[in-house]
Amino acid sequence: MMNLRLFYKRKINIYAIILILAFSFINISVLAFDSRPDLKIESYILPNDIVEGDEVEFIVKIKNIVNEETGEFADISNNTEIVVVLYIDGKVENINSSLEGLEVNESVYINLNWIATLGSQSQRDVRIEVNPSFIPNRIPESRYVNNFRLDTIVVEEKGPELTITNIDIPTEIIVNQSTTITATIKNNG
């Protein structure tokens, strides 16, 4: 009986050694799922003192990060379009992109432009989004919850810009008598 136990114990040890050797030759990375990038709007610059009619530039910094929850990461290759969208009050106002590619922990700047208009109020809701869902060749990411930022801007109404283009003053003005002075004023606003 003792020999039989010893036999099975040795047999189990031999199987364990064989399994360890077998797994040491298998490329574990082949078994892993394909990693995906995680794009994030790291920062953006909102302009100040916006007046109706101004050309406004939003400078957006996009970063390809390691997903803190899963540890997943991947580079984005050149010629893969990274798209950024500017929404004002829920309406798409500008779309721009980069084809430079983006390695993990690297950033790219993408600028968005908009001609400022007044809304129903002077305060306007701004949404900036990278890799939005409506893009046909959307980059598959490990998560999308960090792909947008919300903010507000204030657009001031443009006031009149009056310029005096001509003044006609009589050469002789007499005290206590009415005098007519003619001015031509142009509204450039």
Catalogue the E-assigned strands of 30-160: 39-45, 50-51, 55-64, 82-88, 91-98, 107-115, 123-130, 148-156
* CA atoms of 180 and 176, how far apart (whole Å): 13
In this structure, the dihedral spanned by the alpha carbons of residues 164, 170, 174 and 179, taken in order and rounded to 10 degrees, is: -50
pLDDT of residue 27: 44
With 0.75 as the threshold, say if the pTM is over it.
no
* CA atoms of 86 and 47, how far apart (whole Å): 14
What are 90-139's pLDDT values in tens digits?
999 999 999 999 999 999 999 999 999 998 888 999 999 999 999 998 99
Rg (CA), the chain: 34
What are 62-78's pLDDT values in tens digits?
999 999 888 899 999 99
